[in-house]
Structure 1
Amino acid sequence: MTQPADFRFHHRLRVRWVEVDAQQVVFNGHYLTYLDVAVTEFWRTVGLPYPDAMRHVGGDIFVRRNTLQYHAPARLDDWLDIGMRCERIGTSSITLNWAVWSQGRLLVTGEVVYVFTDLASGRSAPVPEALRDQLDAHMQGAPVTQLVCGPWDALAEAARAVRLAVFVGEQGIPESDEWDEDDATAVHAVVRNLAGLPLATGRLILSVDAGHARIGRMAVLRSARGVGLGREVLQALIAQARERGVQHIGIHAQCSAMPLYAQAGFVPVGEVFDEVGIPHQGMTLAL
């Protein structure tokens, strides 16, 4: 029998009232919606956040076949645990197997076959090696992203891409307010997936007083959030500060991101203030 341990990836969700039919069980068609929710999280977890990662390699994926087998019903308020794994990568296809449990009861098993399609031609195309490498790394339990720290000259292109997408495109900050002279002297951190797609960035600005520094321009692509990349960038910048003998780090945190910094030991200082039209809170960390 299919077991949860057979799947490296799991996603949990709860049955809602709207998903229950006249028989007081989940309507069978909703399991494909559950699959869609889980597979989006699967791509994000394996370092292929959809749709950015597919566009990066010049393609997209389309469903060719779905098969489901129903074993037991799910009911209102059940917590569903959805397991998923990459079963096979063909010439132009990717096959995922999945299963759903509730409190250990196997409810549904299934298989979905995607076909990789070239965006330029609109026709099926070979699965790029970059996607194969990404999925292989996840299946083997290897890292699916790479973090590097360095100067602006080396990381400007990747950092710019993330900051433009997040601060300018998503948050509506004028591009003229995004770039400043601190970029040239800061230590930058960038996370990319194995295919080279920039996913997250941040910078460490060292002050004239070597004992102090500031972290800023922390950004994660919207499609890549929720898998810990912001925390990874933050810890890398804190480590860079320690290596340089910094004793005190400050940050102007967007209020929505304060829990991330609080988990790393930052504490609020002063009142909430407006910066580029967004509420911010000053926070500090003693090293």
Structure 2
Amino acid sequence: MTTPADFTFIHRLRVRWAEVDGQQVVFNGHYLTYLDVAITEFWRHAGLPFPDALAFHQGDMFVRRNLIEYHAPARMDDWLDIGLRCERIGHSSITVVWAIWTQGRLLVTGEVVNVYVDRQTRVPAAVPQAMRDQLAAFAAREPVYRVEVGDWATLQPGAASVRQAVFIGEQGIPEAEEWDTDDATSVHAVVSNLAGLPLATGRLIHAGLPAGHAKIGRMAVLRCSRGAGLGERVLRVLMEEARRRDLHHLALHAQANARGFYEKLGFVPEGPVFDEVGIPHQRMVIRL
């Protein structure tokens, strides 16, 4: 019997009105859309987020085959639990099996075969060993990320690549305003996958501040990896580094739309919202 315990990863979503057909059940074709949503989350949480992880390896993937078997219908407002696991990795193929339940009732089972290809030629190529290792760690429920803490000289390549993508490329912040002299004296944190692809970063400024005080800044997560908890990993490791250095008064300038994220980790707003590089910000503080 197929059960959720048989799967490495579970993604939950809710059936929407537009997905129900004239028979008052989910139209059969939508189950492959559900798979597409869930498998994107599978790769994200495995530390191989689309499209950046494939680009990092100079590759891409295409669907070769989809098999699907229907067992029972889903209806409007059902919560669907979609389970996935990597079943097999061949020379250039990656097979993922999947299933969907609602309230423990099995609805669908399936299998999707993807083919890994060279990014330039689009000819099938061997699945890189680093991707195999990443998927093996995920299947074994082992860590799929590495967190490094160090100085700018050591971590600049990774930290700079994430900040370039997020602040300059995505948010349109002028490059001249992104890089400053604080980088050289700050403690930096970088989260990467096992192959070394940088996914998130942040920094802890303490030089030139009153004794016991520090400022967290330049918190950034690649868009493709948001929702996998990497921002929290960066923030927690910087807070722990602050404790280690006897820095107990922390402040940061949060982008206003991220205020809730920092509040969950104990930061409280201080003062009014203000503009910084054309983006609304809120000063937030915490005492460790």
Normalized against structure 2, the TM-score is what?
Answer: 0.99
**1:268 corresponding residue in structure 2:** 269
Q: How does 1:1-287 map to 2 (within 5 A)?
A: 1-208=1-208, 209-287=210-288
Deviations 1:212-248 (CA, angstroms, capped at 9, x unpaired): 0000000000000001100000000001111111120
What is the DSSP-based 3-state SS (H/G/I as helix, E as strand, rest coil) of the residue aligned with 2:281? Answer: strand
- What secondary structure, in the 3-state scheme, does the structure 2 residue paired with 1:256 have? helix
Deviations 1:174-199 (A, max 9, x none): 11100000000000000000111100
* Letter of the 1:131 counterpart: M
Identity %: 66
Structure 1 residue 151: Cα displacement: 0.3
How far off its partner does 1:21 sit? 1.0
* Larger deviation, residues 63-72 vs 113-122: 113-122
Corresponding residue SS for 1:190: strand
Of 269-278 and 201-210, more deviation after overlay is shown by: 201-210
Shift of 1:120: 2.0
Moved over 6 A (4+): none
3-state SS of 1:189 partner:
strand
Gaps of 5+ in 1: none
Structure 2 CA distance for aligned equivalents of residues 198 and 247 of structure 1:
28
Deviation, structure 1 residue 5: 0.7
- Cα deviation, residue 258, structure 1: 1.1
Contact kept? 2:49, 2:225, Cα under 8 Å: yes
1:164-183 Cα offsets, whole Å, 9 max, x none, are 10001111101110000000
Provide the TM-score with structure 1 as the length reference.
0.99
Q: Deviations over 1:91-123 (max 9, x none)?
A: 100000000001111000000000000012210
Instruction: Give the total of aligned pairs.
Output: 287
SS at match of 1:100: strand
Q: Name the amino acid aligned to 1:262.
A: E
SS of the aligned residue for 1:31 comes to helix
15-24 or 29-38, which moves further after superposition? 15-24
Show structure 2 runs of 5+ residues with no match: none
CA contact (8 A) 2:69 2:109 kept: yes
- Contact residue 186 and residue 207 of structure 2 kept, 8 A: no
Distance 2:56 2:175 in 1: 23
Alpha carbons 2:185, 2:207 under 8 Å: kept? no
C-alpha separation between the residues in 2 aligned to 1:214 and 1:28?
52
Deviates more, 1:62-71 or 1:206-215: 206-215
Q: Partner of 2:137: helix, strand, or coil?
A: helix
